[in-house]
Amino acid sequence: MANLIAPKVKQQAVSVTRKMAASLPGLREIAKARGLKVHHLGAGYPHPEVTDPRGFLQHQSDYFDYVKEQERHNDPNVLPEYLRESYSYTDTLGPQSTRETFAHVYGKDWNLTIDPERLIPTVGASGGISLACSLFERSGEPVAYITDAPTYAGFTARASLCQHATIFSVEMDAEGAIPERMRAQIKAARDQGYFVPFYYTVPDGHNPAGFSFSQARREQIVEVLREEGVLVLEDAPYLYINYAKPADRAQTFLSIDSRQTIHLFTGSKIGFPGPRVGYLYSDATIKIEGGEEVPLTTLALTESSADLLFQNPAALRGFEALLHRREEDGQYIKRDSMWPLAEDKLGVYRENRKILLDTLEAKLKDHKEHFEWTVPDGGFFSVFTFKRVAGKPAIQTDDALIEQLVKEHGIVVIPMYDFYPADARQRDPGAGMNQLRLSFCFSESQGDARRADMREAVEAFCAAAKRLVGASDDTA
């Protein structure tokens, strides 16, 4: 067998979530062998209780029957147009009816006028990340992406695939990325010869930081990016997984300035994860070679067609069905909001979040010199920090501790250190090394059993945390 030599190809680092997923089966067996129940506080997956597809499939079937009736074909041998379209090649933009429906509903929710011709279908938000990166990597020019420290591991994994791309990360405080630091990192990247196309972030229900950016901070960030001529790549998977009161919800970056923003929507959290429905949208324009100014989405469409020439029209039409509701007279009309759909999911996540936060407070309230945790306004995560205490050995949330928690307590959690880009860990080798990401979205049970399992998992975690710092294992 011949050996292919590819000297410029290098082995990419494996993310901590991927490593955990690979090692979990073995660790689970060890825990079970020791008579331990496995407690899920690590996975960021949608809960099975909110992804039961049966009701959706019935709604979709009824909607398609309605669409067929509207076509008014009496000949049973005539293939309905919606069915032909759903199982034929479609262009890269996908079905127009789906884009028009989504533009209507999403625009109503976020006070936007969305042009359906600028909606580029993607394979979930991850596909949107890849598309945005590819768009700016194509020229071969050295590229620097600005992102948060910490940031979504999927973004760093995608950025690392390009040999001439790097990351300049920005520290955060309780309101979001620090604007002054962002401006300094943009300048540093440019001084080193990099082109800086965008700043990537998950501002709502930040993964992994476990909080949402404030309205004031978003506006400050947009002002910096306007002045510096840099876009924001807004990843919005948890936009509707929001626990704040409606009046307290911040605007999206897209709503603040659609010409400064590339917005990524995914239906994975509000709809169903399997179909991988997503959209990239922007009103930004880009000046290209020769001085011509063109819509960013025109370039993105060309880039997308080189990757996914034909979208999955059946999945997109299924999402379109979800965005319609049935009236009493049998007519289907476009929804004016996706929030009612979100409420079907939020009931479970809101309960789980409350159990997590209430149990942490009840069990650890007398030991807050050792611990703190974020209170998420959105998303699936809270970041748990072991504080540095004078005279006490520091708790290191390294791989050894993660294995210890599984083997000795059956607790599955994710360490934070690998969510920090390489440059952030160079500035601070201890970044994230005293923190864990606690997920409250997933368990293998439903209803009362889910509630009991979540409570039991958090109680087990609290007991383990107190044991690690040498605190009394009270039952308060």
Angle between helices 54-71 and 313-322 (to 10 degrees): 100
User: What is the average pLDDT across 284-300?
Assistant: 91
Q: Would residue 9 count as lying in a domain?
A: no
Statement to judge: residues 318 and 347 lie in one domain: no
pLDDT tens figures, 3-28: 555 455 455 555 555 565 566 667 66
Mean pLDDT along residues 353-361:
98
Q: Mean pLDDT over residues 395-411, rounded?
A: 92
> 104 and 39 in one domain?
no
| Helical spans, DSSP H, in 236-322 | 253-256, 296-307, 313-322
Domain total for the chain? 2
Task: State pTM to two decimals.
Answer: 0.92
In terms of domains, do 200 and 243 share one? yes
Does residue 238 fall inside a structural domain?
Answer: yes
**CATH code, domain with 371:** 3.90.1150.10
Q: Does residue 230 share a domain with residue 120?
A: yes
43 and 183 in one domain?
A: no
Residue 2 lies in a domain: no
Question: Quick check: is 415 in a domain?
Answer: yes
Q: Are residues 356 and 406 in the same domain?
A: yes
HSE-CB of 354 using CA atoms within 13 angstroms: 11
State pLDDT tens for residues 332-342: 999 999 999 99
Domain containing 261: what range?
A: 82-322
Q: Backbone phi, then psi, for 436, in 5-degree steps? A: -130, 145
DSSP string, 55-67: HHHHHHHHHHHHH
pLDDT of residue 176: 98
Does residue 170 sit in the same domain as residue 288? yes
Is residue 305 domain-resident? yes
If asked whether residues 270 and 377 sit together in one domain, one would say no
* Residue 133's pLDDT band (cuts 50, 70, 90): very high
pLDDT digits (tens, 9 = 90+) for 193-212: 999 999 999 999 999 999 99
What string of DSSP letters covers 108-122? HHHT----GGG-EEE
Clarify whether residues 130 and 24 are in a common domain: no
pLDDT digits over 66-111, tens only?
A: 998 888 767 777 888 888 888 888 888 999 999 999 999 999 999 9
Q: Is residue 61 part of a domain?
A: no
214 and 281 share one domain: yes
Q: What's the whole-number average pLDDT of the chain?
A: 90
